[in-house]
A and B are shown apart, each in its own frame.
Chain A
Amino acid sequence: MSTHTLEHAAHGNGDSAHAGVKHHHVTSPMLLLGVYGALVFLTVITVGVTLGPDLGNLNIWVALLIAVVKAALVGLYFMHLRWDNPFNGAILVMSLLFVAIFIGFTIMDTHHYQQNFSLPGPGRIP
């Protein structure tokens, strides 16, 4: 029973016969370590970029791009989304999308109106 199960688990065969227990994908150690190495590398890069030349407005976008790549690695491999039901990944993407809409519209709003009530000078604390 146990060896049979292990084989199924290792191969990720969904059509196992017994009792409707479907064995899911098992991430291999090399893949886990590879993803871990990539995450550490990207952390070093994102700190290293701030020690280097100033990129002006690009700074935050570089930092965010690296963060998104790291988040994608964690989501796809550590959180199993690559082999999961796509609907689970859709929930994650949709919630991120709605956060982006939320922040985007708020920024547009404050960008237009903040100047009307936040003039520099003493005694003007938001």
Chain B
Amino acid sequence: MSTVESNVADHGNGDAAHAPHDPHLAHHFENPEQQYASAKLGMWVFLGTEILMFGGLFCAYSVYRHNHPDVFALAHEALNRWLGAANTIVLITSSLTMAWGVRASQLGSTTALRWLLGVTILGGYFFMGIKAIEYNTKWKHHLMPGSGNTYYAWNGQTPVKGFFNEEPEGEKTAEPTANKSEAPAVAEKTAPQVAAQAPRELPPGAAPDGNAGQPDHAVIFPNYQTPKGIAAKFGAADEQLKLDDLNTGDKQRLYTFFAVYFFMTGLHGLHVLVGMALIYWILLRASGARRRLWLVPAAPMSVGLFLAYLGVVCGSPRLIAIGVAVAAVSSLWAVVRYTIKAPRLATSEGEFGPDYYTPVDLVGLYWHLVDLIWIFLFPLLYLIH
């Protein structure tokens, strides 16, 4: 504190009534306004680099869509546009509550700020929940990025070779027949070219995908309840693009759409998670909780994440689901506790008010950027005509 005062004195700011006592003013800034402007400029430069990073993925999207428009038009049918639209509304709503939270902090209404931040984080949970439904469905449809993507179309219970119910051109070579019994292992290890050319076979023990050709649903229906595969669907509608309209190369290239889809939405989802963590940090500071208590919710969260990690290592989807659920519930519990400000937690008023709300503003900018990117991702991935 004494250094701050001496610095201010050196700069000759004698007329600053309470600047020397401002606990948030770093000594290398003249005044809070300069500090605020510098912080905001730095945040905008960072957001600019974020846009450039996503620009690389948007470029990959543009190149693949430009060269193979039919692939995108056909493969995007596997996405559910209504889930995408719901996620858009969720993100826009949480953007509104975040912007309102900045307003609340500017006006010094700390209770409103806490509740708005809590609702904003809740929006993140909703978004990631819907995302989990979509990813889960694609996982069960074998719609993965890279050569792991086996877009089977099933004709009843009989596995049909090739993508989309299509018999691949050219005769089968000797190697795939030999590899038939260990198809999943081979598909992982061979080069993408070889894996994509080889006729797809049903992995041993795998159940046929009765939902092939259906967009995402919260529930994966049993086989006997679902319609035929994607080939049947596209055969039915006359005006729609059919699989047979694609040339042979494009038929084998359908996985590129899912590579683009998973990398773009995956990086965006990562940003949503980071944004939620940042808003949680702001919520903690706004609630005026004792700093020692900040780590309490981290214990069950770490246990959950460790269980999820074990599930990844052991290849157990159930363990992954349990771990993620533990982490989600424990973090949600913490968010609710700090939002309603359990009396035991609070030792002081929140940090933010009209004189100091920079962190709220900057985290808000980050959250809006996440919303901004989704605004472009949604029509580009879900709404291809």
Contact = CB atoms under 8 A, between A and B. Distances in A.
Contacts, number: 198
Contacts of B85: 43, 47
A107 B376 CA distance: 18
B92 A119 contact: no
Given A9-B354, A32-B100, A99-B52, A125 B59 contact: no
Contacts of B361: 80
Which among A21, A55, A67 has the highest number of chain B CB atoms within 10 Å? A21
A62 B247 CA distance: 28
B376 A67 contact: yes
Contacts of B293: none
Interface stretch (B33-41, B125-133, B134-142, B282-290): B33-41
Interface in A68-126: 70-71, 74-75, 77-80, 84-85, 87-88, 91-92, 94-96, 98-99, 102-103, 106-107, 110-111, 114, 118-126
Nearest to B47: A92
A22 B33 contact: yes
Contacts of A70: 375
B59 A106 contact: yes
B260 interface: no
Given A43-B89, A91-B48, A92-B51, A2 B108 contact: yes
Q: How would you classify the secondary structure of chain B's contact residues: helix, strand, loop or mixed?
A: helix
Contacts of B256: 126
A31 to B, nearest CB: 10
A103 B376 contact: no
Interface stretch (B190-198, B314-322, B342-350): B190-198
Interface in A1-39: 2, 5-6, 8-10, 18-24, 26-27, 29, 32-33, 35-36, 39
29 contacts: A6-B107, A20-B13, A20-B31, A21-B32, A21-B354, A22-B32, A24-B106, A36-B93, A47-B81, A47-B383, A49-B383, A63-B380, A64-B379, A74-B371, A74-B375, A75-B368, A78-B96, A78-B98, A78-B368, A87-B41, A95-B47, A98-B55, A99-B59, A102-B56, A103-B59, A120-B250, A122-B170, A122-B249, A125-B197
